[in-house]
Structure 1
Amino acid sequence: MHIIGLLAVLIALPILGILGAWFGLDAAGIDGLRHQMQTVLPGYLATSGWLALMVTLGVVLVGGASAVAISLFEFRGKRFLSWALLLPMAMPAYVSAYAYTDFLQYAGLVQTALRGWFPGFRFDVRGLAGAIFMFVFTLYPYAYLLARNALSERGTHLMEAARMLGTPLPERILRVALPLARPALMAGAALALMETLADYGVSAYFGLTTFTTGIYKAWVVLDDRIAAAQYASALLLFVAILLWLERREQQRMRFAATRGGRGNDGAEARLPVLSGARAALAWLVCGLPVLLGFALPVLILLQLWWGELGRPAQAGFDGGQAAPFDAARYAGWVWNSFRFGGMAAAVAIVLALSLCFAQRAGGLSRVWGWLLRFTARLAGMGYAIPGSVIAIGILLPVAWLQALWPAAGLGVLLTASSLGVVYAYLVRFTAVAVQSVESGYTRIPASLDEAARTLGSSRAAIAWRVHAPLLWRSLAVAGLMVFVDVVKELPATLLLRPFDTDTLAVIAHNLARDERLGEAALPALSIVAVGLLPVLLVMRALDGPGRARPLQSGAPPA
């Protein structure tokens, strides 16, 4: 049971560190806060607010339209598009931003062609509109996936009932499909907003003044710990509200899904067949997000990398002459990413198995039971907390302890080794492992535990000798998900990584920031390739029995 208390302390410490900064607020801190409210805070609020609003609208529109087309209609190429729409989940928004910046720059192919038709035409992708575009077309799969599941469970039967009552197709979509998918769309939009608020790469690369860039600037550039904590606490409040909204919508989704029983799903429903202009419209609705969110950025990055391979030698990071592609440096970036990911995944699996086993075993005292529920709630919230907030929440208590106890060397221990960055990964991504292990435990009957206890096995023996072999698939998925999230994580890695230790995400950001997009292409493509692994797992899970059948040729048209 001690591991539960340890996990609770590890996860709660960054949050407590952020909130604790307000208790030490003195007169100078109040003056600083007043100055921030008059200068930078309105800009942070305005930019973050507009991002939140427009990304919500875009994700709901793109994800909802594609979910309706895939779930409620049959057309040629639907099976390909149904899984291709998930591919942008492998594309981090900051990687997409690097690709589109080169493609849409002033001297690029697009603007050059447009100026040939419209003299004087000019636009800059590096702005709020460009950031909204990146977030919408890389994060819409959250809304698409949840809305598709909601519509597949009951939408086909309800749409068929509405058709038999003579309701036209547009009204069926507006009055039946969209209200049914609304909780799922809102839950997906909340998840997308958490990712938007947690982003640092796009905002920093485009020069936007968001809370995440403000946190990094206050801590690293201005060396103002109090201001960084204040920005982090404001962002934490945003995330807490979004998390509450997402959980409320998830509860509504479960209610809608369970009502009516399993025999009322869409397994035997006959879907309307689209052809001609309607089929072309369905392809446009589903194909355009795949093109803009995944295919085009990947092609741009491949072109940049290919062009970089043909360039002559140029100055490297150390000022000497180096080839555009340095295999040794690239291997070092890959090793650092995989090392951090492997360590975080291994520890997260142990923590998740211990926490889930404690919840399953029960028999705890009142105090331990309360602590277990509190720890589970904290672990679930950790994934929603931005990496920059977690990093500041770790650094603040360490700075206080270092001032009180200089001989301990806590600051050096966390910032000069891998311990600090792995700790941040665990706080943020343990929730991913817990969810996977919990789903695996639902398939293990309680009778196995009772039989093991009858034979005299201890709790530890039951967990490691009975449950772990049966949970190996869930544990493997948990480790894979944590590993991939660690490889893509940018703000926490930037703030906490040891000196001269760069990961694929950090080096791609640094190279793109220095306008060396050709060199940034290979690490960016590597991140995308790693991100494809969990997407393939989701595709495999969705590509199972129970898909609705199309209407026969003699059935009434849509």
Structure 2
Amino acid sequence: MSWLTRTRPSLQDAMRSLAGLGQHVRRWRARRRASPLWTATVATILAIMLMPIATIFVLAVSPHENIWPHLVSSVLPVSLRDTILLMVGTGFLTLTVGTGTAWLVTMYRFPGRALLDRLLVIPLAVPTYIIAYAYVELLDFAGPVQTAFRTVFGFTSARDYWFPDIRSLGGAIFVMSAVLYPYVYLTARASFVQQSVCALEVARTLGRSPMGTFWAVALPLARPAIAAGSALVLMEVLNDIGAVQYLGVQTLTASIYSTWLQRSNLGGAAQLASIMLLFIFALFLLERFARGGAQVHHTTGRYRSISFQDIEGVRGYLAAAVCSLPFVLGFAVPFLLLARNAVVFLGEGLAAGFLGATANSLMLAALSAIVASALALTLGYARRVANNNIVRPAVRAAGLGYAVPGTVLALGLLIPLAAFDNWVDAFMRSSLGVSTGLLLSGSIFALVLAYTIRFLAVSLGTIEAGLERISPNLDAAARALGSSPMSALMRVHLPMLTPALGTAALLVFVDAMKELPATLLLRPFNFDTLATHVYSFAALEQFEEASLSAVAIVIVGLVPVLLLHRAVAGGRPGT
């Protein structure tokens, strides 16, 4: 009993601890401003993330041979024209389809509305290069559509009739719009779900028709979200290489690829890449301008559910048909073709290296997901415990890699990695007489680094959202009780961040499974992923043998797309 008396804290001890808690919290807040170790860590990560961009600009201003006059006279006019037209056409179609279907699904009740709400996001699981290969096989001269057309009308050659050419700029606009419109659909849907019912009802009471309410109230309120979705679409257009090459469109990305690998001119490729980076910068400015400076928020804590307006009869079925068409063109038609080919050519697909490509893809995607999630956790937590004037902008800048096309990223990584390999090889030769060869360039390390730089923003946004839900009082209490920042992270934050970490890793995993441009340029010799496997067989006009790999990529991509839709559809305040 005497031992219990001696060790049990008294009421006075507890009161003294509580009295000193405020002082501990103030000291903890002051230390957040000056955390040299966390600040140095963030600065190091930022330097690695920005290394490709810095390399591109250095190469562009100091090429080994000046081919700038040739680029300006021969390459740039066609590349700029095709790139701008492709961006404008795809941006217009995705804006129209995504915004229109999001408004119908959010505000109206018609046959199949709930199912169509889910189906409309599914095309996002299909990479652009896969749908391009599928539609070429379907609509080309030897494809089933034109064959049936000639049979029905008795035509014998292509000169006897006109048929839209899928291998064209118009075909590329159609193909990309068919799979990229969900970016606009999701952001517009999220914005419409969040809007005030009262504002819409006031517009109706003042005599606005449903369409007038959409143009006067709902669309201006949704402009920032729609601008963000459109910017994502245009970034994907700039990043694509598989679809544009296959469809014969000479964009800047395709020109960089051909200048580097086919003409063996690294300086010229870097100069084209610098122009593409200027495109990205202009796109950021355009997106900021389209968002506008206004801020919209609810003025009450009470939220009413959106009351659907019923569309009955023929108009209801027409609305269902309008919402079904994007899903049919963007997913159902190409996926059915892929599934049919995968079944018919199952033996050839398995024998063509499917299992090896699958294993490589899973390994790379898993490693990238782990590394990107770990770096995102480091950056997000550093911003929480060391929120100073260096860490804040550095964390924002570390996510810029998502805007850098994979071709540019690969070009910017290969040079510093090769320089490091050459330095190590020269040192080992002079010191030990041993050649080390290539250590980092053309290795799995280079691919994981490229994936991490490109998709860090995906995991960072998810983990920062998870950290924002954790009260800062928990940090202060942990530090007051003697925990270091790392101890608080491991014992307090990490268990609470498990769902966010899982989501971040899943998103990076799926994006890495689909990545093609960076993989094509940085992969080791005789190393195929599912994406490069599909690309290689499509380039040989043997797409049927790669259909099994294409189906695998699409199925893996369905999981995060459906999870994302669930978060958007159920994201109304108060629910």
Asked if structure 1 preserves the Cα contact closer than 8 Å seen for 2:365 and 2:510, the reply is yes
1:484 to 483, 487, 510: 510
One-letter identity of the residue aligned with 1:146: T
Cα deviation digits, residues 60-112 of structure 1 (max 9, x gap): 11011101101121222111111111101101111111111111121322223
* Aligned partner of residue 107 in structure 1, secondary structure: coil
Partner of 1:245: 286
Partner of 2:95: 60
Residues 6 and 545 of structure 1, relative CA distance in 2, 3 Å threshold: closer
Partner of 1:293: 330
Partner of 2:205: 164
1:41 aligns with 2:76: yes
1:398 to 410, 413, 417: 417
Structure 1 residue 328, shift from structure 2 partner: 8.4
Partner Cα distance (1:517, 1:195) in 2: 23
Partner Cα distance (1:410, 1:284) in 2: 62
* Aligned partner of residue 457 in structure 1, secondary structure: coil
Partner Cα distance (2:563, 2:233) in 1: 20
Structure 1 residue 420, shift from structure 2 partner: 0.7
Partner of 1:555: none
TM-score by length of 2: 0.86
Partner of 2:249: 208
Cα deviation digits, residues 306-341 of structure 1 (max 9, x gap): 2223xxxxxxxxxxxxx5133682221111001111
1:306 to 343, 367, 387: 343
* Aligned partner of residue 415 in structure 1, secondary structure: coil
Partner of 1:229: 270
Cα deviation digits, residues 453-500 of structure 1 (max 9, x gap): 122111111112211111000000110111111000000000001111
* Aligned partner of residue 40 in structure 1, secondary structure: helix
Partner Cα distance (2:496, 2:259) in 1: 48
* Aligned partner of residue 382 in structure 1, secondary structure: helix
* Aligned partner of residue 469 in structure 2, secondary structure: coil
Asked if structure 2 preserves the Cα contact closer than 8 Å seen for 1:194 and 1:384, the reply is yes
Structure 1 residue 48, shift from structure 2 partner: 0.1
Partner of 1:260: 299
Extract unaligned runs of 5+ from structure 1.
Answer: 310-322, 550-558
Partner of 1:312: none
Q: Which protein is bigger by CA-based radius of gyration?
A: 2
Asked if structure 1 preserves the Cα contact closer than 8 Å seen for 2:446 and 2:522, the reply is yes
Asked if structure 1 preserves the Cα contact closer than 8 Å seen for 2:193 and 2:572, the reply is no
Partner Cα distance (1:532, 1:353) in 2: 25
Partner of 1:185: 226
1:325 aligns with 2:364: no
Partner of 1:89: 124
1:451 aligns with 2:492: no
One-letter identity of the residue aligned with 2:405: P
Asked if structure 2 preserves the Cα contact closer than 8 Å seen for 1:65 and 1:285, the reply is no
Partner Cα distance (1:252, 1:529) in 2: 40
2:238 to 197, 214, 218: 197
1:14 to 52, 58, 62: 52
Structure 1 residue 250, shift from structure 2 partner: 5.3
One-letter identity of the residue aligned with 1:187: A
4+ residue stretches of structure 1 with deviation over 6 A? none
* Aligned partner of residue 21 in structure 1, secondary structure: helix
1:422 to 448, 472, 497: 448
Partner of 1:432: 458
Partner of 2:4: none
Asked if structure 1 preserves the Cα contact closer than 8 Å seen for 2:365 and 2:509, the reply is yes
Partner of 2:24: none
Worse overlay, 122-131 or 524-533: 122-131
Partner Cα distance (2:411, 2:337) in 1: 35
Structure 1 residue 178, shift from structure 2 partner: 2.9
Structure 1 residue 247, shift from structure 2 partner: 4.5
Partner Cα distance (2:372, 2:522) in 1: 19
* Aligned partner of residue 414 in structure 1, secondary structure: coil
- What is the percent sequence identity of the aligned residues? 39
Cα deviation digits, residues 372-423 of structure 1 (max 9, x gap): 2342122221111111111111112334555666526898122342111111
Asked if structure 2 preserves the Cα contact closer than 8 Å seen for 1:270 and 1:548, the reply is no
One-letter identity of the residue aligned with 2:561: V
* Aligned partner of residue 22 in structure 1, secondary structure: helix
Worse overlay, 1-10 or 95-104: 1-10
Residues 278 and 339 of structure 1, relative CA distance in 2, 3 Å threshold: same
Extract unaligned runs of 5+ from structure 2.
Answer: 1-37, 428-434
RMSD: 2.3
Partner Cα distance (1:125, 1:326) in 2: 29
2:491 to 454, 462, 465: 465
2:384 to 346, 360, 365: 360
* Aligned partner of residue 15 in structure 1, secondary structure: helix
* Aligned partner of residue 403 in structure 2, secondary structure: coil
1:386 to 382, 387, 405: 405
Partner of 1:377: 396
Partner of 1:349: 373
Partner Cα distance (1:202, 1:375) in 2: 34
Residues 155 and 411 of structure 1, relative CA distance in 2, 3 Å threshold: farther
Structure 1 residue 249, shift from structure 2 partner: 4.7
Asked if structure 2 preserves the Cα contact closer than 8 Å seen for 1:184 and 1:249, the reply is no
Partner of 1:271: 308
Structure 1 residue 261, shift from structure 2 partner: 4.1
* Aligned partner of residue 348 in structure 2, secondary structure: coil
* Aligned partner of residue 270 in structure 1, secondary structure: coil
Partner Cα distance (1:184, 1:262) in 2: 22
Cα deviation digits, residues 397-451 of structure 1 (max 9, x gap): 3345556665268981223421111111111111111101000001111121122
Cα deviation digits, residues 210-253 of structure 1 (max 9, x gap): 11111111111111110110111111111122123334555758
One-letter identity of the residue aligned with 2:137: D
Partner Cα distance (1:152, 1:246) in 2: 22
Partner Cα distance (2:197, 2:286) in 1: 27
One-letter identity of the residue aligned with 2:189: R
Asked if structure 1 preserves the Cα contact closer than 8 Å seen for 2:90 and 2:177, the reply is yes
Structure 1 residue 347, shift from structure 2 partner: 0.9
Residues 76 and 234 of structure 1, relative CA distance in 2, 3 Å threshold: same
What is the count of residue pairs matched by the alignment?
A: 524
One-letter identity of the residue aligned with 2:61: F
Residues 521 and 441 of structure 1, relative CA distance in 2, 3 Å threshold: same
Partner Cα distance (1:174, 1:411) in 2: 63
Asked if structure 2 preserves the Cα contact closer than 8 Å seen for 1:308 and 1:518, the reply is yes
Structure 1 residue 25, shift from structure 2 partner: 4.2
Partner Cα distance (1:175, 1:453) in 2: 51
Partner of 1:220: 261
One-letter identity of the residue aligned with 1:455: L
